[in-house]
Structure 1
Amino acid sequence: MKTIATCLLGSSLIIPTLTQAEETGDTLVVTKKAEETATANTGSYQPHSSVTATRSESRIVETPQSITVVPKQVLEDQDASSLDQALYTVSGITQSNTLGGTQDAVIKRGFGDNRDGSILRDGLRSIQARNFTPTTERVEVLKGPSSMLYGMNEPGGMVNIISKKPQMTPHVHLEGRTSSFGGGGGQLDVTGPLGGGFAGRLIVDHSETDYWRNFGRTRQTVVAPSLMWVGDSTVVRLSWEHMEYLVPFDRGTVLDTNTGKPVNVPRERRFDETYNATRGDQDTLTFQADQALSENWSSQFTYSFNRNRYSDNQARATAYDADTGILTRQADSTAAANARTQIAQLSLNGDVDWGRVNHQLLMGVDYEADRTYRGDMIRGTKTKNSLFNVYDPVYGLLDTSTAVSAKDSDQRENIDSRGLFMQDVLRLDEHWQLIGGLRYDRFDVMAGKGRPFVTNTQSSDSKLVPRVGVVYSLNNWSSLYASYTESFKPNSSIATQIGALPPEQGKAYEVGAKIDTSNGITGTLALYDIRKRNVMVSETIGGETYTRTAGQVRSQGVELDMAGQLTRSLSLVGSYAYTDARVKEDPENRGMRMPNTARHTAALFLTNDFGHTGLIANDDLRAGVGGRYVGKRPGDAANSFWLDDYTVADAFVAWHTPYSGYDVKWQLNVKNLFDTTYYTSSASNLRIAIGDPREVVLSASVDF
């Protein structure tokens, strides 16, 4: 709270400066960057362009790959507070193992896990545990392999979180909110010109709520200052985001093997202890410089450093007896864990005409260094207090452990990557557009653990990754496309001796159709076939466990995403996906469906702007309702149990009531409108995540 008070005091000094810059008539000519123009109509559900699909602003209808943009207005109306919530309406998305709710974990087209490198912030890979923060402006999801542009990645796709930037127009946003779970939060967001070509922004947000289960608390504080300088041909941005967090380490519920369903107890009942929590802080520092070299050429240099430090405690379930209801638990913890990434990129963009063909050129180099370290790994032992009856719980008997496991401690993983990439978007005529790209990447991996330290992964390799696509524009608002893309991701294991294994490799074919009508609907229909090989598998032969790259996974499917305006007052965002993701080659799981991947998912959200109500001068009333469906999913790799399908509905009402030149908004959100009990993902039969119950959130904000 001291940090918040300091920043609020600082904002009181900034706001007069912003006003003064406006009054003195400082005039600045700003060249719009891709991040600012991609969703210029911020009050609309309809996205027209994206910065993720080609690493420069491109119309969605002219991109030969499926790209979905969740704009600011959708995030605000739905009151998204996590990455899962932000992606509710995106096709082909389900949740993977979130490590007890402490990590973002997104499955795209059947591929993905926590810490899989598929979440980016402003085009740079993030290792943060929680990436959807109050600094988020919008979210872009690129489906299919993206290694040609972004390096190491899963073949299912990637999520790019676009952050809020300093603006030259003064603006202040103040907000307070409260939750039916108990507690609430507040936010200050102030931006504007500072004079001399500078603009600044400060975002301060604090939230603290009770956990919806029978104990626990969630707390998050974010302080994010940023600065921008605009010269005649140069734009420089510097931003820093600091977060401190406390989240319950909640592994959810367990499977009753007699029924094949989660145990029949109240969903609020936890099976761990009050000390189950993760505490940490994370920082993201980003520097970006854009330089116009001529009318047709520009360059960009970007450097990013992000770090996540945390410690956790858990009473971890190790076994469950379905006949007696006795759960065996073990007190474990991680002390002094630290993950950090440094990324440097230098790129050159050109817009040139060679003969009758226009070329949008991109070439560049990048370097990435990822470091993961977990210090003391504390492991408890089984005692009489390890036994816990899920039907008649008694808490407080299992104390935290202090026994450090030498063989499990000092876990390290180092990944270094150096890449060279080139891309050319050729506009042949008003109908035909081709895209071709190539990346060469060299990477080194080292991983292991223990005291003394044992190296279990030590490898160096390189990969050449192509990208090819074609777009045929039927007219200005519709197109057909086809693409071939590849991905790669190093194989690494901290715990198991694998030595030097070749990287996972993905290949994808995709065809589709797109529309983008003026003040109407943006939509994409995509059909795809993805195959991933060199998947790491383990076999036990003669009592010995061997690890090799024998696995192969295939995902085929159809996706439909739509967003925009049906009428002048009625907006929609919706999606449907059919995903058939299966293991093709594996010693044990051949033919099995991929865990946590639903064959059918769908979502639809409708919002109507009712306009002036007549109650207050110049007021405006908006309301929306929608729902999402997720089909049944395998709970583990062996498909030994399944999570039921579910449908969850949400609704909101927002009332703008201008007062003395201030834009005052009152908003009521009801999440999980019908209080449905559902299960979002599974890590095993002992770790089944439970979806949040009904929550009512009331917020009030003032903008000026």
Structure 2
Amino acid sequence: MIPSASRRVGVDPLAQAVRRALGLATLGSLVLGSPAVLAQEVASADTLETVTVEAEALSLVTEGADDYRVAQTSTATRLDLTPRETPQSVSTVTRAQIEDFNLDTLNDVLESTPGVTVERLETDRTYYTARGFEISNLQVDGLRLPMPYNNVHGDMDTAIYDRVEVVRGATGLMSGSGNPAATVNFIRKRPTYEPQASVSASVGSWDQRRLEADIAGPLDEAGRVRGRLVAAGMESDAYLDRLSRERGLLYGVLEADVTDSTLVTLGHTWQQNDTDGNMWGALPLYDSAGNPTEYDVETSAAPDWSYWDVETHRSFLEVQQDLGDRWALKGTVTHLDMLSDTQLLYIYGPPDAATGRIADNQLTLSRYDRHLEQWVADLHAKGDVDAFGRTHQLVMGTDWSQSRNQQTSRYPTESFDAGGQGLPPLDDWNGSYPEPDAWVAYPTTVGDATVKERSVYGAAKLGLAERWTLVAGARLSWADAVGEQYGSSQETDVDNELTPYAGLIYDVSDWASLYASYTEIFKPQTEINRDGDFIDPIDGVSQEVGLKAELFGGTADASLAVFRTEQNNVAQPTGEKRGAQDVYSGADGITSEGVEVTLAGELTAGWQASVGYTYLEIEDADGEATNTYIPRHLVRATTSYRPAALDALKVGARLRWQDDIERDRDSADGKTRQEAYALVDLMASYDFSDRLTGSLNVNNVTDEKYLTSLKWDQGFYGAPRHVMAELTWTY
């Protein structure tokens, strides 16, 4: 068991002093270790042969290869590190995995990621967890993406991404504020130097149809200007009653070599999600007598007039400047504009045990609109420095973000005449329920809050000795918020919040390393203490030790990690008042401990695999098991094989297994349980020629019936057995 980290709660001055000293010393060393200061050291030191950095890349491109691994990643620290050099648990879902198993949405990708659970609470709103905490940090090309409410509206299409990288544990160095769960980093496809194109068409169960096109290459004879255009469209009914979806996607990106040392990239993504027959909340999981409802898989709690439409625009501008002497400067500005529009019906409480009916007073309706606008900017320099006979890598930067979240909800009052009909047993319901005809006339609840965060950060990969490497960094942050959401103040203010990062790696051989890391993340709080000041941020701390190895001649990465993750200084009410406001104090929060084992890459010629097993213990401050809706045992595995004797053929399988989960009922005695289950998916593809490939996917081949989540006191069932056939032409 890993020893507990120093706690902020209880005012341990020594622990706080040590933590701040570590962060300040690391940040100071990065500044002092800049090229100008180290020049004198370099002049007198014997240096090893160096590698010139011509352009910055977050990691190697995975499209066009069968690989289930990447050789390099920078999600955790912005340093270019191999998975073995990264002192945290890292997993990547590559382009090959996405295409092999038709992982067309973020939910599909994360359901294939070791250590991550996808909490599908509603048809169009999803939460994600890792190591016992909600994932609250997303990145696109390494640039943090603020995530209000820790959830995603609609489906994020993956057609524009080369891969998705996930770093588990506290990731405050690059993510800023959030939970100590994980960071999910989407790496976009980029223009290519050689012309290429592809078109794919697929059809599947429930009348699903998808068309995708991708074209890239140089736009001038010299190849100094390059472009890429990706378009995708999907429409489908669903296994759930009344549910249907349409999704459109366009992504365009241009990059130009403005000079021999300057690269400018400009891109924009548009995505439209239109869903009809969507659920707000889900199905009651027990009746008024506490009996499990056990609905049919296709049962839905959505009326026939419900819908949820989400339109997203995301633009970005990047400028990369080669500074010479193996250093580069990169600046990025990105803008997100998301609009949501939906009509909803929600069921409160359980159905009547005798009749299965749900009364009108157990229902509420809403017309909900949301506008989320975000600006994020980052400027950083990265490069190599030779000192003391070794080559070290440094990165120093600053970033800024502003996120404004506006929401409006209209709720019909008792003046709305529903005719007293309520709902019949949901298994027999056809979706008929009166639709309000004048939403604008009903009482309106609004929310409007703006969150700003800015920081300076630095990180270094330092070669301490022949087998010893130190990866260390620190982030200094300022964050503030104004406004309110549904009558609850969002105001908070954080100054000079220091987030340290430290990892030590020891190479026990040419192919294996031991590592230990200490990482943090913070989360601002809106509550006040006795003095009227905001409670200090929640302190998320991760400690991890493990073994990483490059196996099978370096074609696969394996890892074994033992971790402890906790939240400290969580606001708890004291029962006191300061004027009209409640007074809070900091207290211990949730602690999770566990083990993770992963393997990713080529195991033998033609055989690719990505496998992960996670064991978790999650306890509250009193040592009692909590968040019991999260599996304690979790397996994620994908594999494919291309036989040498018939290399036009590829076959594969995906396994998602979890053990029993449960939750205490909100309005009845007892617990709701979901037994352990395994979902097995199979795939096969065949190259009819160098240009044409056909594939077939069969998901949930055993037709398992399972609830998609127990995070809430409601839920719905996952998809039964279904198939997808696809043809792809490439150039």
Q: TM-score range by the shorter chain?
A: 0.7 to 0.9
Alpha carbons of structure 1 residues 609 and 187: separation in structure 2 relative to 1, 3 Å: same
Separation in 1, partners of 2:619, 2:317: 41
Q: What secondary structure sits across from 1:475 in the alignment?
A: coil
Contact 1:55 1:149 in 2 (8 A): yes
Contact 1:379 1:401 in 2 (8 A): no
Query: 2:499: which partner in 1?
Result: 465
Query: 1:69: which partner in 2?
Result: 92
Contact 2:390 2:463 in 1 (8 A): yes
Q: What secondary structure sits across from 1:81 in the alignment?
A: coil
Query: 2:324: which partner in 1?
Result: 294
Q: What amino acid sits opposite 2:653 in the alignment? A: V
Alpha carbons of structure 1 residues 227 and 551: separation in structure 2 relative to 1, 3 Å: same
Q: What secondary structure sits across from 1:75 in the alignment?
A: helix
How does 1:445-524 map onto structure 2 within 5 Å?
A: 445-449=481-485, 456-462=489-495, 463-491=497-525, 500-517=534-551, 518=553, 520-524=555-559
Q: Residue 608 of structure 1: CA displacement?
A: 1.4
Q: Residue 75 of structure 1: CA displacement?
A: 1.3
Contact 1:67 1:141 in 2 (8 A): yes
Contact 1:177 1:698 in 2 (8 A): yes
Alpha carbons of structure 1 residues 252 and 318: separation in structure 2 relative to 1, 3 Å: closer
Contact 1:356 1:428 in 2 (8 A): no
Query: 1:668: which partner in 2?
Result: 696
User: Could you report, residue by residue, the CA deviation over 1:353-402 in whole angstroms, capped at 9, with x for unpaired residues?
Assistant: 12234321111111010110012433455851334323542531332474
Q: Residue 64 of structure 1: CA displacement?
A: 1.0
Q: Residue 476 of structure 1: CA displacement?
A: 2.9
Contact 1:594 1:637 in 2 (8 A): no
Alpha carbons of structure 1 residues 401 and 57: separation in structure 2 relative to 1, 3 Å: farther
Q: Residue 545 of structure 1: CA displacement?
A: 10
User: Could you report, residue by residue, the CA deviation over 1:233-287 in whole angstroms, capped at 9, with x for unpaired residues?
Assistant: 1222111000111135223322125796751221112122012221120011111
Query: 2:10: which partner in 1?
Result: none
Q: Residue 94 of structure 1: CA displacement?
A: 1.1
User: Could you report, residue by residue, the CA deviation over 1:91-128 in whole angstroms, capped at 9, with x for unpaired residues?
Assistant: 221123x4523234210111115xx3x12221223356
Find the partner of 2:307 among 277, 283, 289.
277
Separation in 2, partners of 1:545, 1:539: 11
Where structure 2 has 5 or more consecutive residues not aligned to the other structure, the ranges are 1-51
Q: Residue 507 of structure 1: CA displacement?
A: 1.0
Separation in 2, partners of 1:346, 1:591: 44
Alpha carbons of structure 1 residues 530 and 160: separation in structure 2 relative to 1, 3 Å: same
Q: Residue 178 of structure 1: CA displacement?
A: 0.5
Query: 1:201: which partner in 2?
Result: 228
How does 1:418-433 map onto structure 2 within 5 Å?
A: 418-433=454-469
Find the partner of 2:376 among 343, 355, 358.
343
Which piece of structure 1 moves more, 99-108 or 175-184? Answer: 99-108
Query: 2:48: which partner in 1?
Result: none
User: Could you report, residue by residue, the CA deviation over 1:534-554 in whole angstroms, capped at 9, with x for unpaired residues?
Assistant: 334568899x99574545110
Query: 1:175: which partner in 2?
Result: 200
Q: What amino acid sits opposite 2:656 in the alignment? A: R
Where structure 1 has 5 or more consecutive residues not aligned to the other structure, the ranges are 1-28, 614-618
Find the partner of 1:123 among 138, 142, 156.
142
Query: 2:122: which partner in 1?
Result: 100
Q: What secondary structure sits across from 2:239 in the alignment?
A: coil
Find the partner of 1:440 among 476, 492, 517.
476
Query: 1:366: which partner in 2?
Result: 399
Query: 2:17: which partner in 1?
Result: none
Q: Residue 635 of structure 1: CA displacement?
A: 3.4
Q: What amino acid sits opposite 1:122 in the alignment? A: D
Contact 2:265 2:317 in 1 (8 A): yes
Alpha carbons of structure 1 residues 683 and 541: separation in structure 2 relative to 1, 3 Å: farther
Separation in 1, partners of 2:273, 2:290: 35
Find the partner of 1:321 among 337, 347, 351.
351
How does 1:593-672 map onto structure 2 within 5 Å?
A: 593-611=626-644, 613=646, 620-635=648-663, 640-658=671-689, 662-672=690-700
Q: Residue 571 of structure 1: CA displacement?
A: 2.0
Contact 2:79 2:459 in 1 (8 A): no
Q: What amino acid sits opposite 1:434 in the alignment? A: L
Query: 1:571: which partner in 2?
Result: 608
Q: What amino acid sits opposite 1:54 in the alignment? A: T
Query: 1:20: which partner in 2?
Result: none
Separation in 1, partners of 2:575, 2:678: 41
How does 1:346-357 map onto structure 2 within 5 Å?
A: 346-357=379-390
Contact 1:47 1:69 in 2 (8 A): yes
Separation in 2, partners of 1:422, 1:45: 30
Query: 2:57: which partner in 1?
Result: 34
Q: What secondary structure sits across from 1:386 in the alignment?
A: coil
Query: 2:30: which partner in 1?
Result: none
Contact 1:331 1:398 in 2 (8 A): no
Q: What secondary structure sits across from 2:333 in the alignment?
A: strand
Query: 1:244: which partner in 2?
Result: 272
Alpha carbons of structure 1 residues 36 and 479: separation in structure 2 relative to 1, 3 Å: closer
Instruction: Verify: 1:417 aligned to 2:453, yes or no.
Output: yes
Contact 1:457 1:499 in 2 (8 A): no
Q: What secondary structure sits across from 2:305 in the alignment?
A: coil
Contact 1:167 1:199 in 2 (8 A): yes
Q: What secondary structure sits across from 1:37 in the alignment?
A: coil
Q: What secondary structure sits across from 2:298 in the alignment?
A: coil
Separation in 2, partners of 1:30, 1:503: 38
Query: 1:142: which partner in 2?
Result: 167
Alpha carbons of structure 1 residues 38 and 560: separation in structure 2 relative to 1, 3 Å: farther
Separation in 2, partners of 1:209, 1:394: 19
Query: 2:598: which partner in 1?
Result: 561
Find the partner of 2:252 among 196, 212, 225.
225
Q: Residue 153 of structure 1: CA displacement?
A: 2.0
Q: What amino acid sits opposite 2:724 in the alignment? A: V
| Number of aligned positions between the proteins | 651
Q: What amino acid sits opposite 1:532 in the alignment? A: Q
User: Could you report, residue by residue, the CA deviation over 1:594-637 in whole angstroms, capped at 9, with x for unpaired residues?
Assistant: 15311000123331113555xxxxx7000112311112223369
Query: 1:526: which partner in 2?
Result: 561
Q: What amino acid sits opposite 2:194 in the alignment? A: T
Separation in 2, partners of 1:676, 1:259: 27
Q: What amino acid sits opposite 1:645 in the alignment? A: A
Separation in 2, partners of 1:62, 1:30: 18
- Aligned-residue Cα RMSD (Å) equals 2.8
Separation in 1, partners of 2:158, 2:694: 21
Contact 2:111 2:118 in 1 (8 A): no
Q: What amino acid sits opposite 2:547 in the alignment? A: A
Q: What amino acid sits opposite 1:309 in the alignment? A: L
Query: 1:696: which partner in 2?
Result: 723
Q: What secondary structure sits across from 1:320 in the alignment?
A: coil
Separation in 2, partners of 1:579, 1:42: 34
Q: What amino acid sits opposite 1:177 in the alignment? A: S
Which piece of structure 1 moves more, 435-444 or 457-466? Answer: 457-466
Q: Residue 148 of structure 1: CA displacement?
A: 1.5
Separation in 2, partners of 1:480, 1:30: 28
Contact 1:423 1:438 in 2 (8 A): yes
TM-score when scaled to structure 1? 0.87
Alpha carbons of structure 1 residues 620 and 633: separation in structure 2 relative to 1, 3 Å: same
Separation in 2, partners of 1:637, 1:530: 27
Q: What secondary structure sits across from 1:149 in the alignment?
A: helix
Find the partner of 1:56 among 75, 79, 83.
79
Q: What amino acid sits opposite 2:557 in the alignment? A: T
